[in-house]
Amino acid sequence: MMKKYHYLILLLLICSFSGHAQYGKQKRADKLFNNLAYLEATDVYKELIANNYNFKENSLKLGDAYMKLRSPENAVFYYGDVIDSSGISSEYYYKYAQALRGTKRYQESRDWLKKYLETGANSVSAEEALEKDEYEPRTTYKLKKAEFNSDLSDFGAFEKDGIIYFVSARAEGVAEKDRIYSWNGEPFLDVYQLDTASMAISPVSGEINTKLHDGPLVISPDGKTAYFNRNNYLGNKEGKRDKKATNNLKIYKATLTGNVWTDVEELPFNDKSYSVGHPALSPDGKTLYFTSDMPGGIGGSDLYKVSINADGTYGLPQNLGEKINTPREEAFAFIDKDSTLYFSSTGHGGLGLMDIFRIDLKDENAEPENLGEPVNSNLDDFAFFKISDSNKGYISSNRDANSDDIYSFNQLNPLILKGTVTDAVNDKPIASATVRLMDNENTQLAFLETNEDGEFSTAIARDSQFPIEAKEIKYQTFTGTVDTRNSDEKDTLVYNIQLQPVKDPEYLAEIDTIYFDFDKYNIRPDAARELDKLVKLMTEDYPEMVIAIGAHTDKRGTNAYNDILAERRAKSTYDYLIAHGINEDRIESYKGYGENQPAIECDRCTREQHQLNRRALFEVVRMEN
């Protein structure tokens, strides 16, 4: 009995010790998470989950950590373990949907967005994601991973005067980067520059880089002022943190003295209690755009603009408004010279976690447009930059790795497909022909009609093959394939179409049937008008056409008599055509068929039926020699 009692005490002590140990791990995991040390926190949360300690809560937290690390495939796994559990906040339906999107499981993502909205959540971003599930960009971009990427994070490329400035965690050529950023386990960020002539890479000179995060950077049009991101750090001294002990981002400016950036000072709208970052300048350098989570915004982080006055002072920051900003995150603005704003967002419907959008700031009715693939992927795509007076530029993305990389792009003008539809025999243009473009599923993409010169045109996507069809009532249907592959060097693709005319002169000439009176073979006035149309067709449209004539009678009279009458009708038709300018060698034959090939089969024919059988017909022997 005493032995069993001691065993029970030992068991209770072990359970108590185990519970206390798990409690300690929980506090450590949460502290790491709250201190933004997400990479290290994942290991501790995994241990807690393996021991079935606070399984639901820790699975959600681990999913959150992986989303912070931009690893949706892992987040999906841990969210998915508990997403159907009772008591789950509806906000996790949205997070789970985002993680699913990040793994290209788009339909499942839409299903969970619907569940999220069914809980009564008011989310513009969720509604947009459901409304827009396909993004057809108006502009074609060709992407290539930049050769100057490292094995660590590289992003935020900006090019001026043959120098590419970018942000990197490579920690090369800097003395103070001996610390590791606990968020992702990489060194802190610095600003580097690449000389495009020599391809030499070095840290920017002067006072921009510090021991904390630095960059990205933008330079004024005159090249004398740089605006850049940095943690709250100035004069070799770290600034104050906010209430959560976070060292927020600020925007600083530096002046170029010789070849060195000096005289660093922070901008007046910075604050230790919120972040201000991702500076971008208007083409004239008079407006600074940035992102911030400052109070009074619309969502997590918003885009703002502020005027830069001639005396070096600044106006008041202005929020860019609800059309651009959402309750989620907007960041990384770029302003093109045509007043197009490019920016990244997690709040507008997109292909992945963060997509790049554009909007024409001159157009009050414009809406943000997703740039689509290949600019956007299922993960994060951001930091759009276009070189001045060029179609080339850079974006950043983590699509191929856990870290960010820089991609160069070539923005191609819309490819215009144009052509002329002509007659295959006489090369004359065909007006009002219809031209249809289809996709590989035979869905119509474009329906066109040729003008009076037989011309058609439309914008068309590159790097594809499109079935095409052309029709006109007097011609045989044409089918073919438009190939837009290998068209990067073209703005226009010419695709001419020739239609073969139908071999029916009555149809081509739009003539009514040539009829004869009872027991007559003379050409009636109404028949002469129709034959004149045939003459015009054979002399003006198809001067090499060769035909055959066949004539017929009704059933009244003997077979022998009707055979002779039909021959005379054929000869009268032949003579009329010869008399009006048709060479006899263009009429291969004229023949009477008597009553043997009636248009109307009838035993006791009416007057009208008899008339329909008294006729002359034409057949195309050949269209050209």
Within-domain flag for 144: no
Quick one: pLDDT at residue 177? 52
The CATH number for 440's domain is 2.60.40.10
Note whether 293 and 188 are same-domain residues.
Answer: yes
Within-domain flag for 57: yes
Specify the 3-state DSSP secondary structure of 437: strand
Which amino acid belongs to residue 494?
A: V
Which of 412, 440, 457 is the C-terminal boundary of a domain?
412
Separation in Å, CA 530 to CA 501, 527, 535? 20, 5, 9
Quick one: pLDDT at residue 508? 87
Specify the 3-state DSSP secondary structure of 63: helix
Are residues 577 and 587 in contact, defined by beta-carbon separation less than 8 angstroms? yes
Which of 396, 412, 428 is the C-terminal boundary of a domain?
412
* DSSP assignment letter at 54: S
Which amino acid belongs to residue 358?
A: R
Nearest to 574 by CA among 612, 541, 616: 616
Note whether 209 and 300 are same-domain residues.
Answer: yes
Note whether 478 and 436 are same-domain residues.
Answer: yes
Q: Which two tokens stand for residue 229?
A: 């991101």
The CATH number for 115's domain is 1.25.40.10
Note whether 393 and 538 are same-domain residues.
Answer: no
* DSSP assignment letter at 586: G
Note whether 529 and 442 are same-domain residues.
Answer: no
Instruction: For 96-150, give the DSSP string.
Output: HHHHHHHTT-HHHHHHHHHHHHHTT---HHHHHHHH------SSEEEEEE-TT--
Determine the Cα–Cα distance for residues 10 and 6; give it in Å rounded to an integer.
6
Note whether 181 and 317 are same-domain residues.
Answer: yes
Note whether 192 and 310 are same-domain residues.
Answer: yes
Within-domain flag for 10: no
Residue 370: left (phi > 0), alpha (psi -120 to 50), or beta? Answer: beta
Quick one: pLDDT at residue 382? 97
Note whether 205 and 277 are same-domain residues.
Answer: yes
Within-domain flag for 46: yes
Within-domain flag for 397: yes
Calculate the dihedral angle through the C-alpha atoms of 249, 253, 259, 260, rounding to the nearest 10 degrees: -60
Specify burial of residue 215 (Cβ count, 10 A radius: 0-12, 13-18, 19+). Answer: buried
For residue 17, the surrounding DSSP H or E stretch is: helix 2-34
Quick one: pLDDT at residue 17? 43
Backbone angles phi, psi at 225, to 5 degrees: -130, 135
Which of 373, 392, 412 is the C-terminal boundary of a domain?
412
The CATH number for 248's domain is 2.120.10.30
Note whether 376 and 464 are same-domain residues.
Answer: no
Quick one: pLDDT at residue 384? 98
What sign has the CA pseudo-torsion 597, 601, 603, 605? Answer: negative
- For residue 203, is the peptide bond before it cis, meaning its omega torsion is within 30 degrees of 0? no
Specify the 3-state DSSP secondary structure of 584: helix
Determine the Cα–Cα distance for residues 407 and 219; give it in Å rounded to an integer.
20
Count of structural domains, the chain: 4
Q: Which residues contact 608 (CB under 8 A, 6 or more apart)?
A: none
Note whether 532 and 455 are same-domain residues.
Answer: no
Q: In terms of residue numbers, what domain contains 564? A: 505-622
Note whether 37 and 69 are same-domain residues.
Answer: yes
Determine the Cα–Cα distance for residues 211 and 225; give it in Å rounded to an integer.
22
Note whether 445 and 560 are same-domain residues.
Answer: no
The CATH number for 557's domain is 3.30.1330.60
CA gyration radius for the chain? 39
Within-domain flag for 2: no
Quick one: pLDDT at residue 137? 64
Within-domain flag for 214: yes
- Alpha helices, DSSP H only, in 484-589? 505-509, 525-536, 559-579
Residue carrying structure tokens 């008599």: 561
Q: Which residues contact 320 (CB under 8 A, 6 or more apart)?
A: 302, 303, 304, 305, 341
In the chain, pLDDT over 90 holds for what percent of residues? Answer: 75
Within-domain flag for 132: no
Q: Which residues of 375-402 are buried (b: 16+ CB within 10 A; e: fewer)?
A: bbbbbbbbbbbbbeeeeebbbbbbbeee
200: Cα within 13 Å, side-chain hemisphere: 6
Q: Which residue stretches of the chain have pLDDT < 50?
A: 1-3, 10-17
- Alpha helices, DSSP H only, in 35-90? 38-50, 55-68, 72-82
Are residues 456 and 418 in contact, defined by beta-carbon separation less than 8 angstroms? yes
- For residue 137, is the peptide bond before it cis, meaning its omega torsion is within 30 degrees of 0? no
Beta-bridged to residue 484, according to DSSP, are none
Specify the 3-state DSSP secondary structure of 597: coil
Question: What's the residue count for the chain?
Answer: 625
Other CB atoms within a 10 A radius of the CB of residue 12 amount to 10
Are residues 400 and 149 in contact, defined by beta-carbon separation less than 8 angstroms? no
Determine the Cα–Cα distance for residues 320 and 330; give it in Å rounded to an integer.
10
Specify the 3-state DSSP secondary structure of 497: strand
Q: Which residues contact 198 (CB under 8 A, 6 or more apart)?
A: none
Nearest to 29 by CA among 12, 42, 10: 42
